[in-house]
Amino acid sequence: MQGVYEIGTSGIHVGAYITLEGAGQNVTKIIGSYTTSTIYGGVLSIGSISLVKDITIENTTKTAGTNTVAITKGYEFDGKLVNVTAISSGNGLAIRPYAIRMLGGATDLTNVTAIEQRVRPAQIPALTTYF
């Protein structure tokens, strides 16, 4: 569905074999201010063999000393992001700000844009993958 959906401090998890599809990157947007002290979690987290497409996800957290992530994927495998924009926009004081954080496993990325809007100098890339 088109529109802007503000989810507050909660995150959304797209479970295994689930598809989350918007009406387009410039048409459907989910905005949240999810923070975590661990490497897991984000405004949107994707599970094994899940698909996220045609949507923008933004983390607007301004909380100091936290991890701020727009989209994250744990050690599961075969997740897909297609026509997705991930924005981490409020993270000037975050210790680990990420637009997209992938923690192992295979992930297909097609037409994906990762944007970090920082106040401080860039220390960590917008897209980070660990294996």
CB-based contact 20:51 (threshold 8 Å): yes
Beta bridge partners of 53: 21, 82
Q: How far apart are CA 56 and CA 58, in angstroms?
A: 7
pLDDT at 105 over 70: no
Q: How far apart are CA 48 and CA 29, in angstroms?
A: 22
108: amino acid identity, one letter:
D
pLDDT at 78 over 60: yes
| 78 phi/psi in degrees, rounded to 5 | 60, 35
pLDDT at 63 over 50: yes
Angle at 98 between CA 78 and CA 83, to 5 degrees: 50
Maximum mean pLDDT: which of 34-48, 50-64, 66-80: 50-64
pLDDT digits (tens, 9 = 90+) for 39-51: 677 899 998 889 9
Contacts (Cβ under 8 Å, ≥6 apart) of 6: 31, 32
